[in-house]
Structures are given as C-alpha cells and as structure tokens.
Structure 1
Amino acid sequence: MSLLRKEETGALYGYARVSTGDQDLALQLDALKNEGCNNKNIFTDKISGATSQRVGLDACLFQLKKGDTLLVWRLDRLGRSMPHLVSLVEELRQRGIGFRSICDGAIDTTTASGELVFNIFSSLAQFERRLIQERTRAGLEAARARGRTGGRKPLDPNNPRVKMAKTLHEDKGLDVKEICKQMQISRSTFYIYRLVHVKDAAKIIVDPSVKTIMHRV
C-alpha cells in the first residue's frame, strides 16, 4: 500500500557518505538519482560518520530551504548516532524541510505515518539517553558507598617514571625544561610526578614559566 505523501513544493536534495576514500559512492549516488535527485543537488562526504565536521553535509544543510526534501540512501549515512540523527531531522522539521531514507522506507517525514515512525525513534533515543544517565548515576553512588569517588587513581610513588623525575630533578640538578625533554613529557605531567613526593602539596607553587618548583614560605 502506498503512503500518502504531503505535496512537495520545493526541490529534492540528496546526501551520500562513505567512511574512507577507498570506498565508492556509486551505489548511493545511483539510488539518489533513481529517486529523482539531480547531480547539482547531491552533496557528498568521504569521511568517518563519527567526525563532527562534514563539509558536504554542512553545505547541503545550508542550501536546503522551506519546502525542500532531503534524501539519503540509509539513516546511518546522515547521523553520527541516533541522538545526532534525531537532532538533525528535528532541525529540518522546524525549518519546514522533509526527510526521507531510501533503504528505511518507513522513515519519511513527508508522510503522516513516516513522521509518526520517526517520532517513535526520537522517543527511543531520549529513553536511551536517560538510561545511560541513570546507570552512570547509579555507578557513582555505588562507588561512593564503597568509599570510592570518581577520577583517576593516585600515582604510586614507586612508579618508575615518577621516581625518574624525582631523581633527575634532585640528584642531577637538571631544570624542568631539560627533564621534560629527556623524559618526553609535558611540564604539567612533570609537576604531577613531583607532587607525589611532596608531603605538603598545598605549599607547592606550580608555575610553568619558571624552571624549578617553588615552595610557599
């Protein structure tokens, strides 16, 4: 049974993406053209979906206007994740732009039933976010009940790297810059290593502009 589609008053735009330059866009491009997309209205990216900056997608979203419809081959070609996908489609809806997925036929916000299906997807994404938040909160509460708090474990004074930083600084009299270069660490890491051996850490002044660690009087 065919779905009753709202009248499309604008243009049809397509977006295609593959993860690497070695993959071919041909399959997606052919599918978009078969659905009525013109070459000039198809935007592409050859980049991982996890990457936030996608030049082709940004250009496509900029070009779209009220009454247009965005078409993709499959849902995962558009969004980095379900929450990101829901956010993008909601943005399109607010701008009066339709959205369709070729392989996911039920996802078509230009039809009443397709819009309903996507609203269900949106609710599931929100439910997933709440579950993650609740699990994180429960994990932190359980850790606190066992006497632990979030964050990294404190460094062991017997850690070889920590001991090396102490030896180089105290025994050989090297300045911070030379030690960092020799150990291939940053100044901040060096200061963290040194604080492990300081009994009264509150009296330490960490100043990256100086060559030594100073103590408050």
Structure 2
Amino acid sequence: MKIGYARVSTADQSLDLQLKALKEAGCDRIYQDHGISGMRFDRPGYGKAMQALKEGDTLVVWRLDRLARSMLELTDTVTTLHNRGIGFRSLCEYFDLGTPVGDFMLHILSAMAHFERALIIERTRAGMAAAKARGVQIGRPPAMDGETFREALFLINRGLSVPATATQIGVGKSTLYRYLSENAARYHRLNM
C-alpha cells in the first residue's frame, strides 16, 4: 500500500498541488497537516500516517521538506521506516529509497535541507539584530507600561485586591503578580 503525506506550514497555503501529485502517484490513503510547521513534533496527520504504515508499505511525499525540516529528523524518520520494512519515496526529488541511488540521494538532499534551514535561521537572527539596532521592538509588546503599572499600584494601595485590580486594568492576574514580583523594591518604596 502507498501512504501519502502532505503538509503546508501556514493556513493561507494550499495543499492542492501536493494532494494531486500524491493521488497521481497512486497513493491509497493520504494524510495531511494544514498550517503546521515541519519543526513541530506533534503533527496529527504525520502521526496518523506513521501509524497506518505497515511492513511492505511505502510512504510517499511530494518533497522531502514536507516530511522533515532537519537532517537529523529526516534521517531518523527514514531509518525508522527502513527498520520497519517500509519504503520511502519523494516525488519532486525523483528517488525511491528502495535503490542504492535513492539512499545516496537522501543523504545528500537531507544535508541540503539541513543547510537551508540553518541559513534561514541565520538570516532571521541577523534581521532581528538589525531591527533591534534600529530600535524596533522584537516580540510581543509588554502587557503593561509604566503608567498602567502605577495605576495598578494606586488601586492596590486603595484596598482593591490584585485579581480585581488586574480585571480593572485589563491584564491577567498572573501578569500583575509577575509585575509586582519583578518590581518589588519599587513597589515597597512607593508604599512607604
């Protein structure tokens, strides 16, 4: 039996091209993950595909990077498949693991996929560093600014509980507790 697996990383991407190619390749069943990064280990479609595969079956993917994004993960997956007596085929890279050339190509292509991912990470980090140097804030904005924190302190000093104060200023109570803990010295100074 041929089991197909298709994946796209973002919700606005389409699986149509992969699904069509897998059907044309004769896949009996196709499992898919839509809007899920290849770096995640908890991909439901991937898990179901791996469970469905039995000895003598073949896992078919459109491209190697649809299955894994790191050389280690790809090598581990293919080794696990091989040890279970399951074949592996990638349509775009035109190889079948059932051949010596396919085995050789897998190692070359998995190294390239790993290199590509490392370059993406390097470029992302360089871009973030350049943005920080320009004064751009990276990540989520803080839950509270200084003015909101002062308002929270005022309400707490007037006798309002921390949970009620958090509701009043529109933040979670754990966030307010964290801010109070992080700014304990300043908080005590203001209470004196």
TM-score band (shorter)? Answer: 0.5 to 0.7
User: Residue in 2 aligned with 1:194?
Assistant: 180
CA distance in 2: counterparts of 1:102 and 1:113, whole angstroms: 15
Partner SS state of residue 116, structure 1: helix
**Hey, what does 1:185 align to over in structure 2?**
171
Q: Which residue of 1 aligns with 2:26?
A: 36
CA distance change for structure 1 residues 22 and 102 in 2, over 3 Å: closer, same or farther? closer
Does the residue aligned with 1:23 lie in a helix, a strand or coil? coil
Q: What per-residue deviation string (whole Å, max 9, x for no partner) do you get for residues 28-87 of structure 1? A: 3443343333xxx222325113165443332221111122211112223323x2244444
Match for residue 74 of structure 1 among 50, 53, 63: 63
- Describe how 1:161-180 pairs up with structure 2 within 5 A: 161-170=148-157, 172-180=158-166
Change (3 A) 1:36 1:177: closer
Distance 1:76 1:20 in 2: 17
Kindly state the Cα deviation for residue 102 of structure 1 after the two structures are TM-superposed: 0.8
Task: Indicate whether 1:63 and 2:52 are aligned.
Answer: yes
Counterpart for residue 109 of structure 1: 97
CA RMSD of aligned residues (A): 3.5
Determine if contact 2:62/2:92 at 8 Å carries over to the other structure. yes
Query: Taking structure 1 as reference, are residues 122 and 16 closer, same or farther at Cα in structure 2, changes over 3 Å only?
Result: closer
Contact residue 43 and residue 57 of structure 1 kept, 8 A:
no
Alignment-derived partner of residue 118 in structure 1: 106
Residue identity in the other structure for 2:5: Y
From the superposition, tell whether residues 199 and 159 of structure 1 become closer, same or farther in structure 2 (CA, over 3 Å).
Answer: closer
Structure whose residues are more often helix by fraction: 2
Q: Distance in 2 between matches of 1:102 and 1:161?
A: 56
Which residue pairs with 2:2 in the alignment? 12
> 1:99 matched to which residue of 2?
88
Q: Is the 8 A contact 1:17 1:47 kept in 2?
A: yes
SS at match of 2:32: strand
Equivalenced residue count is 160
Cα distance in 2, alignment partners of residues 192 and 24 from structure 1: 43
Relative to structure 1, the CA distance from residue 55 to residue 43 in structure 2 (aligned partners, 3 Å threshold; closer, same or farther) is: farther
TM-score calculated relative to the size of structure 1: 0.58
Q: CA deviation at 1:165?
A: 1.9
1:169 deviation in Å?
1.0
Q: Identity percentage over the alignment? A: 35
Q: Give the TM-score, by structure 2 length.
A: 0.65
User: Contact 1:165–1:194 at 8 Å: present in 2 too?
Assistant: no
How far apart, in 1, do the equivalents of 2:163 and 2:110 lie?
52
| Contact kept in structure 2, 1:21 and 1:47, CA below 8 Å | no
User: Quick one: structure 1 residues 198 and 66, their matched pair in 2 at CA, closer, same or farther if it must change by over 3 Å?
Assistant: same
Q: Secondary structure at the match of 1:173?
A: coil
